């Protein structure tokens, strides 16, 4: 130091402060690297002078990062050189959300009559985002689009604001039987576009069911075949089943496959009836995937026992005289196949013969009402199958009688309850015998 000297000392800060602030309607956080800022809660920190600090913005759900200002710029990660105190501003905005909610997502129309229109079903489209959604024209597309139709459409070509909604109706008018499917496509400016409504249904044809029943009675315990015709409006059903039901409780069914003849599906089934008497028979068609069910009108049917009854009469004479004893052989028979209870046997003669008597003998298992009797005959007997009665009927023709003697005989089945006997051949249930009186003229003079 051989002379005076002057020294100036400069002190520099070893750290600088970095501050972060947030603006905008959205939400988010900013983190620094190296650590120090978690903004969030800590939005400023000191960092070494001349060091580089990286700031990373993260938007919260429903928000978006809109960019920097201040010490940072751009729209992503920012690096700040800490050569002085720095301040960065992060802008968080509300995220633009274009979203629609469609309710329902699918429609099932079930069975719908071919040629008719179903009841409408309604769909609602709601804007669940925070921005306007622009809806295009709704389109019906898919395999059977022609069978579905839109109505009351308040959505097509509309702009739907947040929380607002629109709606439309859909109907099914099937053009043919069978499963039907299509979809409504809803174009818009939403990311989900096009939203899709799925639609299904089943076209069914109407049917008429007819049952063929023989007007003649059916025999007890004998299987009876019933034929059922199911006629479709346009075509015969290819599936389904029929059931024949009796008011007495018996039934039978046929699940097919049916015999197809044009629009007619022909089914058949058998019933062996176990009880006697009248009843009503109906047939019903159901369980078809392409045709509606239907029922036939109720038809009357009787179940009876069958007994072929007959009666014959002979006396071996053509002309008789006053004072003669007339003897008739009357043969009553049941050719079966069933027993005939309470069978009426009636024998009359005109004019009435003197000392009129009769005797009876049973054939096979038949039992006479009595071994003998007098007067004309009106008796109830039980005739087992393949049995009968032989009756000798005789009396004396009085003097001055008519010009002829007429004997009439008949055997009658008890067709009423509780016996319900049916005679399938009733032409042989009556027999007559006429004898002319010798020497008598029409005016009763000899």
Q: pLDDT by residue (tens digit) across 124-151?
A: 999 999 899 999 999 999 999 999 999 9
What is the C-alpha separation between 224 and 244, in angstroms, rounded? 11
> Residue 384's pLDDT is what?
97
Q: Which two tokens stand for residue 22?
A: 């947030």
Quote the pLDDT of residue 32: 94
Over residues 275-286, the pLDDT tens digits come to 999 999 999 999
pLDDT at 445: 41
| pLDDT at residue number 9 | 57
Q: Tell me, what's the pLDDT at 316?
A: 86
pLDDT at 446: 41
Residues of the chain with pLDDT under 70: 1, 7-13, 401, 439-446
The reply to whether CATH 2.102.10.10 applies to domain 307-437 is: no
Q: Would you identify the CATH topology of the domain 207-297? A: Immunoglobulin-like (2.60.40)
- Between the alpha carbon of residue 94 and those of residues 24, 55, 65, 307, 320, the distances in Å are 8, 21, 9, 99, 132
Class (C level, CATH) for 100-204: mainly beta
Q: Are 226 and 212 in contact (CB under 8 A)?
A: yes
Query: Would the pTM count as exceeding 0.75?
Result: no
Residue 444's pLDDT is: 44
């Amino acid at each position: 130091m051989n002379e005076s000297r002057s020294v100036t000392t400069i002190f520099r800060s070893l750290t600088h402060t970095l501050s972060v602030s947030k603006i905008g309607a959205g939400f988010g956080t900013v983190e620094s690297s190296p650590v120090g800022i978690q903004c969030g809660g800590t939005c400023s920190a000191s960092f070494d002078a001349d060091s580089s600090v990286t700031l990373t913005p993260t938007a919260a759900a429903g928000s978006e990062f809109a960019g920097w200002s201040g010490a940072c710029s751009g729209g992503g990660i920012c690096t700040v050189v800490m050569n002085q105190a720095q301040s960065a501003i992060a802008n968080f905005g509300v995220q633009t959300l274009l979203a629609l909610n469609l309710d329902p997502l699918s429609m099932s129309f079930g069975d719908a009559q071919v040629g008719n229109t179903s009841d409408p079903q309604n769909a609602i489209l709601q804007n669940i985002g925070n921005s306007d959604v622009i809806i295009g024209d709704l389109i019906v597309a898919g395999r059977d689009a022609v069978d579905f139709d839109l109505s009351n459409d308040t959505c097509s070509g509309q702009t739907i604001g947040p929380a607002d909604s629109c709606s439309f109706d859909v109907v099914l008018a099937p053009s043919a039987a069978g499963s039907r499917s299509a979809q409504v496509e809803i174009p818009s400016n939403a990311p989900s576009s096009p939203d899709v409504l799925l639609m299904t249904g089943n076209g069914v044809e109407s049917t008429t069911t007819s049952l063929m029943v023989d007007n003649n009675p059916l025999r007890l315990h004998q299987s009876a075949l019933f034929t059922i015709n199911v006629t479709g409006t346009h075509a015969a059903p290819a599936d389904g089943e029929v059931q024949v039901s009796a008011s007495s409780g018996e039934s039978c069914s046929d699940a097919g496959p049916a015999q197809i003849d044009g629009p007619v599906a022909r089914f058949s089934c058998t019933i062996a009836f176990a009880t006697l008497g009248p009843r009503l028979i109906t047939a019903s068609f159901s369980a078809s995937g392409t045709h509606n069910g239907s029922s036939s009108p109720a038809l009357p049917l009787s179940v009876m026992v069958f007994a072929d009854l007959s009666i014959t009469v002979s006396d071996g004479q053509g002309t008789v005289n006053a004072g003669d004893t007339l003897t008739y052989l009357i043969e009553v028979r049941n050719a079966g196949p069933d027993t005939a209870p309470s069978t009426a046997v009636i024998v009359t003669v005109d004019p009435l013969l003197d000392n009129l008597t009769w005797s009876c003998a049973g054939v096979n298992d038949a039992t006479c009402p009595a071994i003998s009797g007098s007067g004309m005959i009106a008796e109830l007997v039980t005739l087992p199958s393949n049995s009968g009665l032989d009756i000798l009927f005789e009396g004396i023709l009085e003097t001055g009688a008519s010009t002829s003697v007429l004997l009439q005989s008949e055997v009658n089945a008890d067709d009423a309850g509780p016996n319900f006997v049916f005679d399938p051949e009733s032409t042989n249930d009556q027999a007559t015998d006429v004898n002319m009186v010798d020497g008598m003229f029409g005016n009763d003079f000899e």
